[in-house]
């Protein structure tokens, strides 16, 4: 057991960090904000943390907090114009943000060392502390999802007109979801920096953006469990199937296509919806009220 743990410890750390990234992508998608900016905020958090610890000698954990605050601040600024946009426009605007951050990390050599990246960052984050942070974040997200905030996000995602008619301010909730996503991505980036010794600009480019999206699509984007499952599967898949290491991108791409076409709600969400359905059928009384139980009603009933 100890042996197993030692072999896979770095993989485990990686999974935990990616879970935070997936959670960041999940928060925006749940609110119906099509943001691809998580990779950019993760880059900000990671570079902030790495530079503060290596160049100024700050305490790594303090630098992570500052990195997370930087992610929050920048996402709060971006949220103002972004909450006016919808759909594809949000996606492309956040894509542009990721590219701007990427070219800054690549070309501002005096600050970021350019393509060489930042090396010899102190390895301060152990598996236990990462696990603790992930648990805290998940508890926070689950609690928040259960109350009016989560319901407002669900309504906005499902039908914006209904949300407006219920008196829910769409730009307000879009902004909050976006800032939360920026904070989580900044945290994930900072933790990545202090758990992996070195970071390079390539770690935070288009590839990470696709990976974050893929995790949430694979797992499911209406519950936080979906993000966790997606991060777990997509991060460990290449390690478990070493045989396919050469064809890792092919497998990942095929998986994305198959899941979005045949399992559009994602792995975890499909399972959860199925369980809820069964529980409802068992508790729900005789087939007199056999009206088709829609997904939305099923969710709201089981929550109340």
Question: By C-alpha distance, which of 190, 169, 213 is closest to 118?
Answer: 190
138 lies in the binding site for other proteins (CB under 8 A):
no
Specify the residue, 103 or 169, whose C-beta has the smaller distance to other proteins.
103
Judged by CB under 8 A, the stretch of 57-65, 135-143, 231-239, 246-254 that binds other proteins is 246-254
User: Which of 18, 26, 63, 157 lies at the binding interface for other proteins (CB under 8 A)?
Assistant: 157
Specify the residue, 34 or 64, whose C-beta has the smaller distance to other proteins.
34
CA 177/CA 30 separation, integer angstroms: 9
- The C-alpha angle with vertex 206 and arms to 202 and 212, in degrees rounded to 5, equals 105
CB of 263 to other proteins, least distance (A): 11
Classify 199 as helix, strand or coil.
strand
Footprint of other proteins on 63-92 (CB under 8 A): 81, 84-92
**Are 91 and 66 spatial neighbours (Cβ–Cβ below 8 Å)?**
no
CB of 93 to other proteins, least distance (A): 5
Pattern 91-110, binding to other proteins, x per CB under 8 A? xxx-xxx-xx--xx-xx---
Specify the residue, 139 or 249, whose C-beta has the smaller distance to other proteins.
249
Q: Region of 238 please: left (phi>0), alpha (psi -120 to 50) or beta.
A: alpha
- The C-alpha angle with vertex 22 and arms to 17 and 28, in degrees rounded to 5, equals 140
CA 231/CA 212 separation, integer angstroms: 8
Binding-site ranges for other proteins (CB under 8 A): 29, 32-34, 81, 84-93, 95-97, 99-100, 103-104, 106-107, 157, 160, 206, 210, 213-214, 217, 246-250, 252-257, 260-261, 264
């Amino acid at each position: 057991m100890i042996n197993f743990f030692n072999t896979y410890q770095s993989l485990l750390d990686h999974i935990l960090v990616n879970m935070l990234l997936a959670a960041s992508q999940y928060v925006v998608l749940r609110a119906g904000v099509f943001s691809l900016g998580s990779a950019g905020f993760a880059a900000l958090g990671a570079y902030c943390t790495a530079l503060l610890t290596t160049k100024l000698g700050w305490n790594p954990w303090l630098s992570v907090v500052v990195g997370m605050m930087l992610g929050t601040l920048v996402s709060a600024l971006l949220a103002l114009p972004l909450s006016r946009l919808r759909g594809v426009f949000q996606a492309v605007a956040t894509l542009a943000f990721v590219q701007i951050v990427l070219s800054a990390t690549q070309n501002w050599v005096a600050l970021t060392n350019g393509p060489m990246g930042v090396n010899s960052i102190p390895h301060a984050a152990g598996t236990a502390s990462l696990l603790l942070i992930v648990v805290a974040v998940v508890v926070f997200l689950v609690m928040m999802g259960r109350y009016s905030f989560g319901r407002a996000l669900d309504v906005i995602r499902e039908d914006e007109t209904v949300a407006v008619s219920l008196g829910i301010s769409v730009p307000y909730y879009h902004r909050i979801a976006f800032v939360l996503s920026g904070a989580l991505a900044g945290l994930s980036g900072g933790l990545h920096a202090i758990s992996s010794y070195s970071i390079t600009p390539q770690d935070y480019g288009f590839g990470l953006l696709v990976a974050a999206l893929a995790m949430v699509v694979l797992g499911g984007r209406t519950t936080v469990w979906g993000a966790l499952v997606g991060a777990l599967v997509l991060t460990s898949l290449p390690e478990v199937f070493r045989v396919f290491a050469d064809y890792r991108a092919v497998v990942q791409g095929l998986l994305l296509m198959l899941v979005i076409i045949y399992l559009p709600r994602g792995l975890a969400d499909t399972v959860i919806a199925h369980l809820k359905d069964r529980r409802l059928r068992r508790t729900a009384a005789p087939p007199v009220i056999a009206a088709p139980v829609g997904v939305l009603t099923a969710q709201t009933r089981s929550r109340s």
